[in-house]
Structure 1
Amino acid sequence: MLVETFNPFNNLIISSLVAAIPIILFLLCLTLFKMKGIYAALLNLVVTFLISMFLFDLPFGESMGSMIQGAIQGIWPIGYIIIMAVWLYRTSVESGKFDILRASIAGISQDQRLQLLLIGFCFNAFLEGAAGFGVPIAICAVLLVSLGFKPLQAAMLCLIANGASGAFGAIGIPVGITGTLNLEGNVTSMDVSMMTALTLPIINFTIPFLLILLIDGFKGIKEVFPAILVVSTTYTISQAIVTLLMGPELADIIPSLLALGTLALFLRKWQPKHIFLLNDQAVKLEKHTVGNIIKAWSPFYLLSIFVLIWSLPAFKGLFTAGEALDFTTLTFKMPGSTLTSKIDLISATGTAILLAVLITIITTKSIGFSKGFTLFKKTVTEFWIPIVMICAILGIAKLMTYGGLTSAIGEEIAATGNFFPLLSPILGWIGVFMTGSVVNNNTLFAPIQATAGNIIGTNPALLVSANTVGGTMAKLISPQSIAIATAAVGETGKESVLTKMVLKYSLALLAFVCIWTFVLSLLL
């Protein structure tokens, strides 16, 4: 906070209501006024700038510095990660490796309950971790339809499955971004990552059972119980270990690959007595050699290896002050402001993904640098608007933090006292439902959660985690997710039908997160 007081009106209720104008207006723009996200974000950036400077007395230089700092962080490292992740995915698709990869998964078993676990859960989680931004919903839903699932059924199942992985989409950006927000209590992205391990494992373990229940009832759970247990246990335990020891970057990728590989090996020795087929007819799939399958997976295990290296403390230590590679970190002061910003040229996670892309292009004859660069330009063209939107929202978050608006809202919310943790996940749920993004949700509301936590004496990392997990439950029914899912399966126009199909599961999961967060707040 760079202002003298967060209560410029000498009345906390009035100050907090004024401070909440950017958030309320943003939500109204997206719902009542039905504005596009980019226009809503830019309009609210201007409004927040004016409120911060003229009503909360944030100096002009600091106001400009706040917006510039937010824009820089939106481009680097966030935008950098998004572009690199999608570029890698598109390179895999263009090379034909992705088709082999999909066939290798679908061909493991003809039982469609097991195909749902392999594709709808494991592969869905992997794509969420590798690319995010609707990619897993679109691809996995289409693949399930090609295997005989009904279109809206496939979309519903993929949306529900995404509840286990949405918190760590696109190389962990939703949690990773919290480390750029200068949260009260010095809450880091690692703190939030570790705190998610108290809630997400319960959800992760449950969702595979729920998926099978939805297509084949309790009979189906009984018949494929060993396979469900393999997936649930492997994914849940491995994600908990990754989030506790390594952080958010690989929290989807490593667990999903382990669960996928473990289940594939298990199914070589075990198959259910009754092969379940939705249409009583198995879909024939093209078979590929082991060598081709290994090559098809190469872009993604390269991604995992490089991101793993980038996450190692020893590697990160090379970029600290006075060490061998500290010169690759550019630090500069915002003009006319006390604020600083930095660009990590090599240590940024996006660089690890870039290496995976370059090696994939070099080792793939059908791509080459010319076609690879064309794919890069296509990715930038398609994603520059979402990245500008993220920059604007980060600018809003910075203005609200440095201008004292976040503190004003946090102080007022804290008036609910020890009851607030019960409501904390709902704030995240609303944020994602409106913005369609856990990243944007955490950017807007994580500072408020952290401030409220410090005031009421609850672990602020717990509340930021609750904001993340509660928001993830809203991804199941956010308008963007629904639109992507219906479009992918050729059911555009039936968004309301799909929303009704998924809504009760989103609300049930949210209710659990609310109650569990309240229990944790009493124990921690």
Structure 2
Amino acid sequence: MTWTQEYIPLGNLALSALAAAIPIVVIFYLLAIRRAPGQVAGISALVAAFLVAVLIYKMPVSTALIAAIMGIAYGVFPIFWIVITAIFIYNMTVETGKFDIIKNSIATITDDRRLQALLIAFAFGAFLEGAAGFGTPVAISAGMLVGLGFNPLYAAGLCLIANTAPVAFGGIGIPIIVAGQVTGIDTMKISQMVGRQLPFISVFIPIWLVVLMAGWKATMEVMPACLVAGVSFAVLQYLSSNFIGPELPDILSSLASILALTVFLKSWKPASIWRFPSEQGNKEKAAATLPSYTSGELITAWAPFIILTIMVILWGLKPVTNLLNTATISVYVPGLHNVVTQVAPIVKTPTAMAAAYKINWLSAAGTALFIASILSAVILGVSPGQFFSIFGKTFKQLTKPLITIPSVLGLAYIMNYSGMSSSLGLFLAGTGTFFPFFAAWLGWLGVFLTGSDTSANALFGNLQAVTAQQVGVDPILTVAANSSGGVTGKMISPQSIAVATAATGLVGKEGDLFSFTVIHSIALAVIVGIMTYLQAYVLAWMIP
């Protein structure tokens, strides 16, 4: 049995889009207003999506159920697999006492919370996004900030917002590569266009972070450091995306930012050391009495994160990935594979939607992290019994996210296979000459729904290109805007929220974190939308 998507089931695009938005309204309401736990919001939105798909979009019950199950499966693997292995490595350093050494060694660079946030949330987080993506940067960097003594809500929120700058080029450039595949547009041109949008955001994200955590007056004290971090990142992001390609901008930009900021802080210090008001004790005295460590102690303590870095880079290399992918098991999902047909204007010709669940157990980023955890355990002197004990504690810590993440992915898959996401996209695409502004919001919506810039490009990339041609705008611009706008939705994606709360011990407080980030997400999406609109009609010379 086959089923063809209907994008205007209520006979009116606005009404159909309103119906399609019901699951999004449910999850926004539960997280932002009711401050409900993530698993409650996720399950409720999943149920709402199922009912809308079946009752309004007339999707067969069995097809909707199988779509949900496939999404849930992807939520468990590979997404949850990444989360649990990343947090497991962090937990091992805590259990063995090595994180105290890490914490103190960072404090020798700077004991100022503002500057620590720039180093870890912005620069190191961007490096992890470029090397692995898919939740790794937030899980690791947020956990590190909490270990340093950051307020957990701020640690999670800052890492989510900082993750704006690198997302479009995350996972060795896979979002841009996918955008090129689904649209037929040259990947290099999309890379160049995104590289002429995001650097403007990257420059002031460090300033944005510090203002958020400390206020404007305290930000002015560290403005030179903010500019060093942001400008060094933005310059390398522009150069690498425009002259090398989409694979390396995050890696090169983050390394440039880390190096520039570390060197700068060797010769420059803020007028005062800033800590959160809740932190007690004499700041100057604490900084002056930091213990000293031998080179061997420092290398041992940092070894898990050094190994993690090496592994995610190794796993991201194309020859290695191709080799590891030979072990991938692909299962065509019965009852869903080639059952649902997409039609114009979402696709050029009627196309049956594939539904293959890929178990890339060897090439998955989580596997790289798990191997890193084994190597780390050997170096840290963790016994097999202690290894499994810490892993068990980590799993127990993440039982609620194990419900939240799969339910959110189930929601995304129902909305994608039922055509609900496409109804919302078509509604935004109907804005005529204002479409360049809303192109960024289409990306924002895609990432909010799926938690992934890659998935958002796969979902809306072709729609962006088709609509741009209809309104007389270069499709390179709008396809790029899908990625650039998408990064602003990452911080409020329920999937990202679940990862961040799991890493910082805020499970059950997903609503608080959502409320913390949602205003910033909307504000940044507006900025990207305005930038895209100007590039369409005023600054068209910027389009490659």
Distance 2:13 2:114 in 1: 55
Say whether the 8 Å CA contact 1:422–1:515 is kept in structure 2. yes
- The residue matched to 1:281 in structure 2 has which SS? helix
What SS does structure 1 have at the residue aligned with 2:430? Answer: helix
CA-based RMSD: 4.7
Go from structure 1 to structure 2 and tell me whether the alpha carbon gap of 1:57 and 1:124 turns closer, same or farther (over 3 Å shift). closer
Q: Give CA deviations for 1:198-229 in whole Å, capped at 9, x if unaligned.
A: 433223222445667857568735xx73x555
**Displacement after TM superposition at 1:465 (Å):** 1.8
1:402-450 Cα offsets, whole Å, 9 max, x none, are 2222222222221112313424555777899xxxx79648699767754
Matching of residue 203 in structure 1 with residue 201 in structure 2: yes
Alignment identity in percent?
A: 29
Instruction: Give 2:97's aligned residue.
Output: 96
Give the CA deviation at 1:263.
3.5
User: After alignment, is 382-391 or 254-263 more displaced?
Assistant: 254-263
Q: Which runs of 5+ in 1 are unaligned?
A: 146-150, 320-324
* Cα 1:66/1:141, change in 2 over 3 Å: closer
* Distance in 2 separating the partners of 1:252 and 1:142: 25
1:97-496 correspondence runs (5 A): 97-109=98-110, 117-118=118-119, 121-122=122-123, 131-133=136-138, 136-137=141-142, 139-140=144-145, 143=148, 159=157, 163-166=161-164, 172=170, 185=183, 196-209=194-207, 214=215, 220=221, 225=224, 227-238=225-236, 255-256=253-254, 259-268=257-266, 270-271=267-268, 276-277=272-273, 281-284=284-287, 285-318=290-323, 326=326, 328-338=327-337, 339-365=355-381, 367-425=382-440, 440=451, 449-450=460-461, 452-457=463-468, 458-459=475-476, 461-472=479-490
- Deviation string 1:98-157 (CA, Å, 9 cap, x unpaired) is 221121111125677755644665466668878455764565367366xxxxx7xx9769
- Per-residue deviation at 1:344? 0.7
Contact 2:128 2:136 in 1 (8 A): yes
Q: Distance in 1 between matches of 2:120 and 2:109?
A: 11
Amino acid of the structure 2 residue aligned with 1:199:
Q
Aligned position for 1:148: none
For each residue in 1:51-98, what CA deviation from the matched residue of structure 2 results, as whole angstroms up to 9, or x when unmatched? 323432333443233122212211121111111111111112222222
Q: Report the TM-score when normalising by structure 1.
A: 0.74
Sort the Cα spacing of 1:191 and 1:85 in 2 relative to 1 into closer, same or farther, 3 A.
farther
Amino acid in structure 2 at the alignment position of 1:306: M
- The aligned residue for residue 71 of structure 1 is 72
Change (3 A) 1:18 1:211: closer
| Distance verdict in 2 for CA 1:184–1:303, change over 3 Å | same
Q: CA deviation at 1:360?
A: 0.3
Q: Which moved more, 1:231-240 or 1:68-77?
A: 231-240
Cross-structure match for 1:86: 87
Structure 1 residues 276 and 317, CA gap change in structure 2 (3 angstroms): same
- Distance across 1 between alignment mates of 2:209 and 2:22: 40
Give how far 1:30 is off: 3.1
**Aligned-residue offset at 1:358:** 0.8
Whether the 8 Å contact between 1:421 and 1:517 is mirrored in structure 2 is yes
* Structure 1 residues 455 and 396: alpha-carbon distance in aligned structure 2, compared to 1, 3 A threshold: farther
Which residue identity is paired with 1:11?
A: N
1:194 & 1:206 partners in 2: Cα distance? 20
How many residue pairs align between the two structures?
490
Are 2:175 and 2:457, in contact at CA under 8 Å, matched by a contact in 1? no
DSSP 3-state at the match of 2:4: coil
Amino acid at match of 2:272: F
Structure 1 pair 404/341, CA: closer, same or farther in 2 (3 Å)?
same
Deviations along 1:218-271, one digit per CA (max 9) or x if unpaired, are 8735xx73x5554334433455678786868x9767755553344334544x24
SS of match in other structure, 1:336: coil
| Distance verdict in 2 for CA 1:318–1:337, change over 3 Å | same
Q: What's the CA shift for 1:343?
A: 0.6
**SS of residue matched to 2:330:** strand
Structure 1 residue 26: Cα displacement: 2.9
Contact 2:123–2:257, Cα closer than 8 Å, also in 1: yes
Partner Cα distance (1:135, 1:84) in 2: 10
Tell me how far 1:280 sits from its aligned partner: 8.2
User: Structure 1 residues 18 and 310 mapped into 2: Cα distance closer, same or farther (>3 Å)?
Assistant: same
What letter matches 1:462 in structure 2?
A
Deviation at 1:330, TM superposition (A): 0.9
Q: Would the alpha carbon gap of residues 82 and 212 (structure 1) be closer, same or farther in structure 2, given more than 3 Å must change?
A: closer
Deviation at 1:356, TM superposition (A): 0.7
Q: Give the whole-Å Cα distance in 2 for the aligned partners of 1:103 and 1:189.
A: 43
**Does the CA contact (< 8 Å) of 2:69 and 2:410 recur in 1?**
yes
Report the CA distance between 1:517 and its aligned residue.
3.0
C-alpha separation in 2, matches of 1:45 and 1:388:
12
- SS of the residue corresponding to residue 331 of structure 1 reads strand
Separation (CA, whole Å) in 2 of partners of 1:29 and 1:414: 28
